[in-house]
Amino acid sequence: MNEMILLKKSRNLTKISQRRLAQKSGSSFRTIQLMESGKHNPRLSTLKKLSAAMGYPEKLIERRMDYIWKFPPESAQMIAEFIEEEGESTWKLHLMNFVDRFRMAEEKVNYISEMPTAKISARLSALIASSVETLCEESGIETPSWTLAFPPLKEPWFVAEVESLKALAVIESPVQFRKRNLFVLGNFLDRA
């Protein structure tokens, strides 16, 4: 489904209508409508034709699939991508899925090996970096060096956004969060 959102976004960026894309790619108009609505799963060959019709290099889809499949779906890199694509209001879902998967994973390094490069707010980038540092310490594994790329926020962010919890968050925040001017409750990464 995420690929279909990207298809529509790419089509709009290239300023090509569904009908024109269908003509240029040799696909049916209805197929493109169904794909963009998430009601049709296209073949890789169809995605290649659509990409070429929009002016993208032929091998781009293959490289993108290689990139996507390089990381677990809930890796730090991919959750940032999902947050960028689905909107910043979805960060709790994706971050907590990452926390759960990281804790269950045997090969934890696969979840944190690459720096998140998605265009998300400084707040959320710092939150992901601080969460990764905390989880690495908890697991006794080396923290990836990319976390150093995320500096402290200019203004403090109280993640709970509840006025009466601010003082408690200042006291309970792990150092990995405090150093970036982030304040969370001590149980922030705890899961039921």
Do 96 and 8 belong to one domain? no
Asked whether residue 191 is domain-assigned, the answer is no
38 belongs to a structural domain: yes
Q: Are residues 120 and 63 in the same domain?
A: no
Which domain-ending residue is among 68, 99, 120? 68
C-alpha to C-alpha distance for 23 and 7, rounded to whole angstroms = 16
Indicate whether 160 and 84 sit together in one domain.
yes
3-state secondary structure the chain: CHHHHHHHHHHHHCCCCHHHHHHHHCCCHHHHHHHHCCCCCCCHHHHHHHHHHCCCCCCHHHHHHHHHHHCCCCCHHHHHHHHHHHCHHHHHHHHHHHHHHHHHCCCCHHHHCCCCCCCCCHHHHHHHHHHHHHHHHHHCCCCCHHHHHCCCCCCCEECCCCHHHHHHHHHHCCHHHHCCCEECCCCCCCCC
User: Both 88 and 179 in a single domain?
Assistant: yes
Q: Which of 68, 95, 64 has its CA nearest to residue 79?
A: 95
- Domain co-membership, 89 together with 160: yes
Number of domains into which the chain is organized = 2
CATH for 42: 1.10.260.40
Would residue 188 count as lying in a domain? no
Of 36, 68, 100, which residue constitutes the final position of a domain?
68
d(C-alpha 147, C-alpha 129), whole Å:
5
Domain residue limits at 33: 2-68
pLDDT in tens, 62-111: 777 777 677 788 899 989 988 998 899 999 999 999 999 999 999 899 99
Do 75 and 56 fall into the same domain?
no
- Rounded average pLDDT over 30-42: 86
- Distant-in-sequence, close-in-space partners of 97: CB < 8 Å, separation ≥ 6: 74, 79
Pair 93, 146 in one domain: yes
Is the domain of 172 the same as that of 84?
Answer: yes
What is each CA distance from 150 to 116, 126, 190, in whole angstroms? Answer: 10, 6, 23
pLDDT tens, residue by residue, 106-149: 989 999 999 998 899 999 999 999 999 999 999 999 999 999 99
Whether 40 maps to a domain, the answer reads yes
Query: 22, 53, 68: which is the final residue of a domain?
Result: 68
pLDDT at residue 174, rounded to an integer: 96
Same domain, 94 and 178: yes
Work out the number of other CB atoms within 10 angstroms of the CB of residue 161.
9
